[in-house]
Amino acid sequence: MHVKRYYFSFLFILCLFSFTQIVNAEDEDNIYDERLALYKKTETLTQIPWYYIAAIDQYERQVQKDLEDDQLISIKFPEESWFGVGNSSKVKDSRIITMFDGKGKDGNGDNLADPQDPEDVLYSLASFILEYGKTEDDIKIALWNHYQRELAVHTIKNTAKVFKKYQDINLTKRDFPVAINYNYSYRSTWGDGRGFGGRRIHEGTDIFADYGTPVKSTTYGVVELKGWNLYGGWRIGIRDIYNIYHYYAHLSGYEDDIKVGQIVEPGDVLGSVGSTGYGPPGTSGKFPPHLHYGMYKDNGYSEWSFDPYPYLKKWERMAKNN
């Protein structure tokens, strides 16, 4: 009897839990829809392509630390730049801000340039870019002048490319990096000591599989790097739309059409499992065949490795449920 009651309350909690998950997923879809509508409205007003505005906002969402989870947009102007030097009482009247040479502009027609209003902020950003022009090259120069960092410009440009291709920003599909209908095995090995190449830690997870097992992209992104590396052998690097760098090493070879600058999506075959590396180009067979999979996060200043294992577990589940 007791067992039964527990069983039912357990079921009830389980239902509640999955219900909240469904609700959360819906909220998430809503925020993507809301954002996309804002970006497209800004494009209508300024002719700056929406996918560039979206990519800048996305980049800011990844590099800023003090953001709320459900914050609609992440672009922020420093106060002085928004209100103008000398506008110390922070008057929001857009004509007064313009008089003080502030960047804040009124995007929704209420005559106020409010730094808390997403339409005003996006319109102000697009107007800032528009000072340079609206071609891709003009936008690149505007980005360079603002960020002064090659990787930031590069990441935003590539994210915009992905958004443009899929005509969407809600790109949450993922895949496991090794074809799951092949034999493979892996465990958490991030942070382990390494023998070859002096004192370094193992910056990834090794997925053991036979030669020739297809290696697939886990995310949407753009191929950033491809070729030989002393440790990694034939390797490939893909930066995703969240500014995370995914590193695939020891491949036996690449899929024919894979090249730097190319857009990939989850499940796209990149190459196959091998044992290349630990020597000059072509070196192979110094260890059992496996895919070394690494993930690196960038905060706008520097890049660091983090443990891919929990993500691999999650993507493996997603792949099996498909």
Residue closer to Zn ion, measured from CB, 84 or 204:
204
Window contacting Zn ion (CB under 5 A); options: 13-21, 26-34, 203-211, 269-277 = 203-211
Residue closer to Zn ion, measured from CB, 206 or 316:
206
Q: Taking Cα atoms as reference points, which of 284, 316, 322, 318 lies closest to residue 184?
A: 316
Residue closer to Zn ion, measured from CB, 102 or 204:
204
3-state secondary structure of 101: coil
Site string for Zn ion, 271-310 (x = CB under 5 A): ---------------------x------------------
Helical axes 2-46 vs 118-130, angle rounded to 10°: 40
Q: Taking Cα atoms as reference points, which of 186, 28, 60, 32 lies closest to residue 125?
A: 60
Residue closest to Zn ion when measured from CB atoms:
292
Cβ(61)–Cβ(75) below 8 Å: no
Residue closer to Zn ion, measured from CB, 102 or 233:
233
Cβ(37)–Cβ(23) below 8 Å: no
Cβ(284)–Cβ(234) below 8 Å: no
User: How many Å apart are CA 298 and CA 222, to the nearest integer?
Assistant: 16
Residue closer to Zn ion, measured from CB, 246 or 292:
292
Site string for Zn ion, 111-150 (x = CB under 5 A): ----------------------------------------
Query: Which member of 206, 268, 298, 316 binds Zn ion (CB under 5 A)?
Result: 206
Instruction: Kindly state the number of chain residues that form the binding site for Zn ion, as judged by CB under 5 A.
Output: 3
Q: Taking Cα atoms as reference points, which of 138, 130, 174 lies closest to residue 42?
A: 130
246 binds Zn ion (CB under 5 A): no
Instruction: State in angstroms the smallest separation of the CB of 202 from Zn ion.
Output: 6
Instruction: State in angstroms the smallest separation of the CB of 219 from Zn ion.
Output: 19
E strand or H helix that includes residue 296: strand 290-298
Which chain residues interact with Zn ion by CB under 5 A? 204, 206, 292
